Amino acid sequence: MTQMNYTDNVIRVAIIANGKYQSKRVASKLFAVFRDDPDFYLTKKKPDVVISIGGDGMLLSAFHMYENELDSVRFVGIHTGHLGFYTDYRDFEIDKLIENLREDKGDKVSYPILKIVLTLENGRIIKARALNEATIKRIEKTMVADVYINNVRFESFRGDGMSISTPTGSTAYNKSLGGAILHPTIEALQLTEISSLNNLVFRTVGSSLIIPKEEMIEIVPQRTGIYTVSVDNKTYNLKNVVKAQYYIDSEKIHFVSTPSHTSFWERVQDAFIGELDS
């Protein structure tokens, strides 16, 4: 756990909520409290703390709204459903959140994010950041691509596509694809196949790969056509992707450190296992 430095004692707070009735209700309550409190300043511009109200999807949207200010922003997630992976508070714990923010000293918990660099045939370069994962797929026909790990040609992939996930994204799409769950303090990327073709002629490794932070993943499509590229909750159709490179970003996402923070494994158990028989 490390600390953010404030230049004054006022915390600049942005509140972002999804359209659900319960989220709007929570947002109204927080607005009312912070508006009359001299320790807080409500603003969407250059906030110190971004409070996202909704679920993991809402936190992903909040991340992308402030992805160019990651060095100065900390996030807090409030879940208006059951406990999420990026949400430390439930909607009935708002008083606890307000109390914790009043006593806040700038403590933060930080997790790695993904940097994506796409090169198109026309020379255009597209850069993006992902909190969960990025995928690349060829929808119209089988995707054929060379996969390089740290500039070493590792395999020739045939199938629907590939996913590259962050540690915190490992419990999302990556898990549905059969990838491993990675503790978010492990700074690594996970490369997971999407429906690879494996027979006597074509061969891929078949397991998801955990790639350390110093190494880069490069996917080089071998056929022209439209590639469907996703970055978290956004999808783009791009013509003739020449190469797609994936790194751990030099920035991280920072969350406000919460005294009652639920452990990662408890969240995994809560989301995927549920109550155990006694």
Q: How far is CA 168 from CA 80, 144, 163, 181, in A?
A: 20, 28, 14, 9
> Any catalytic annotation for residue 146?
no
- State in angstroms the smallest separation of the CB of 163 from ligand NAD: 8
Name residues whose C-beta falls within 8 Å of residue 148's C-beta, 6 or more positions apart in sequence: 154, 217, 218, 219, 220
Quick one: 34 or 86, whose CB is closer to ligand NAD? Answer: 86
Quick one: 101 or 248, whose CB is closer to ligand NAD? Answer: 248
Paired tokens of 130:
């992902």
Paired tokens of 28:
């109204």
Pick the catalytic residue from 48, 56, 88, 104. Answer: 56
| Residue numbers belonging to the annotated binding site for NAD(+) | 56-57, 132-133, 158, 160, 171-176
Three-class DSSP category at 274: coil
Which residues contact ligand NAD by CB under 6 A? 55-57, 60, 84-85, 132-133, 168-169, 171-173, 176, 232-233
- State in angstroms the smallest separation of the CB of 232 from ligand NAD: 4
Q: How far is CA 69 from CA 1, 2, 54, 112, 254, in A?
A: 20, 18, 21, 15, 11
User: In the complex, which residue's CB is closest to ligand NAD?
Assistant: 57
| Residue numbers belonging to the annotated binding site | 56-57, 132-133, 158, 160, 171-176
- State in angstroms the smallest separation of the CB of 71 from ligand NAD: 22
Q: What angle do CA 182, 216, 116 make, to 5 degrees?
A: 85
Quick one: 85 or 157, whose CB is closer to ligand NAD? Answer: 85
Residues carrying an active site annotation? 56
